[in-house]
Amino acid sequence: MADSELPRFTVIIVGGSLVGLTTALALEKAGIDHVLLEKGEIAPHLGASISIHPHTQRVMEQLGVWPEIKAGALPLDIRHHYDENGKLFEHSTILQEISKMTSQRWTTFVERRFMLSCIYNQIEDKSRLRTQTCVTSFTETEDGVEVTTDKGEIIKGDILLGADGIHSTIRELMAEKLSITNAAASKEMRTGFTSTYHCIFATSKNARVSNGQQFLPNGGVHNVYYPGFSGVVAIGVPGFAYWFMFVKSDKKTRMPGIPKFTEEETEATIAKYGDYALGPGYTFKDLWDSRVKASMLSLEDGILKSKWNTGGRVALMGDSVHKSTINVGLGGNLAVEGVVHLVNELVPLVQQCEASGRKPTRNEITAALDAYEEKQRPHAKTIVTMSRYVTRYEAMETWWLRILRRVSPWISDKRKAKAFVGYINEAPRLNFLPDPDEKQKLA
């Protein structure tokens, strides 16, 4: 059979943010047909920033995205940690140590929209990306999957990936179908995430409104710890400060009852905590006054206990199955790991089947989706648990965490970095693309 006559395997991706765009680009690199459906626009003016760690940089290098990110970003450098009295209690070089141990790769903060744009720019066939398109239902068969959009259009493919975030439409549709046979699992899909903290996400100019004085030098990071709340600010892009205020909520809430906040509630939070210092000589309010954009959101976290796929051709990815608090800045990086795990299972299966002149069967697809979950779930557990712990640690939630904060400076930065680099080294890379680490060894 000629190549042009081979049946074409098609992936339907729902969601056009970090997970969806990265999946689309990886599939394009592998030569696998796909269509991406996004309910809004690609790279909208929403959200604040995203942290990029060395293992994500490595994947972005493989996909050809990193040069554009690198040109617009700065490596984060020294971290200064301040207590509730404004005392510097830790001068940390851990980010430098991590860079030394990971082939000089960076940790940085960039605008989320900027990173999405960089990924989007590398996608050659943008006709596969369809915006302003909502999914209303899907139907699985032995031979494929059909998606119905809000425009009444039916899109056919071989596999459906829900990359549509914490409020996933695909997860809700899966839960609805599951309610007929497994009510408990259906309920867990709808209620499996909780929130104990909320956060102001903000981007500000790195200068006071009053006199133009910089808050931090380029690449600088400040952390501050108060009972019940904490803050961090980082300069990952020249001229801009990405900062966060983490506040413990009055009570723990569970989806779908996790609250959303109004602009008035955000202003009230600044009025309550704004006069506290985030770093030497400046307060949260100073940063707020120089803001470019800001919003306050609940910090959901959790891992979906239910199976991440339907046992057929539909699977969930990213925040739709695992969500971590953002203090460590690893949620987006974890999501990219999931893309890599899934694509590493899918690409060889599709390529082997196409070489035999056929498409993967439903059972083969399910096996690949199960393998992706088996590899990703332990990573999700590690990051969600660690992030939850760090959130509590930074807000000094218990007496022993307050003691640990005093012990932390006595642990060497090299030792701390080595522990994190162990995780970084275990993170997956795209098996079908050249390994940048091997390229460095040959250089």
Q: Is the peptide bond before 256 cis (omega within 30 degrees of 0)?
A: yes
The predicted-structure confidence for 10-59, as pLDDT tens digits, reads as follows 999 999 999 999 999 999 999 999 999 999 999 887 667 899 999 999 99
Separation between Cα atoms, residue 32 and residue 6, nearest integer Å? 12
> CA 160, 163, 164: angle at the middle one, nearest 5?
115
Q: Which sequence spans correspond to the domains of the chain? A: 7-193+302-442
Average pLDDT over residues 303-325: 97
Letter string b/e over residues 350-367, b meaning 16 or more CB atoms within 10 A of that residue's CB: beebbeeeebbebeebbe
Separation between Cα atoms, residue 85 and residue 386, nearest integer Å? 26
The predicted-structure confidence for 334-366, as pLDDT tens digits, reads as follows 999 999 999 999 999 999 999 999 999 999 999
Matching residue, tokens 């987006």: 332
The CATH number of domain 7-193+302-442 is 3.40.50.460: no
CB-based contacts of 418: which residues, under 8 Å, 6+ apart?
97, 101
- Estimate the crossing angle of helix 54-62 against helix 413-426, to 10 degrees: 40
Separation between Cα atoms, residue 211 and residue 213, nearest integer Å? 6
Separation between Cα atoms, residue 296 and residue 213, nearest integer Å? 26
Average pLDDT over residues 375-384: 96
Burial of 348 (0-12, 13-18, 19+ CB in 10 A): middle
Separation between Cα atoms, residue 119 and residue 24, nearest integer Å? 9
421, 424, 426, 432: CA torsion to nearest 10 = -140
With a pLDDT cut of 70, the percent of the chain lying above it is 97
State residue 18 phi and psi, 5-degree precision: -55, -50
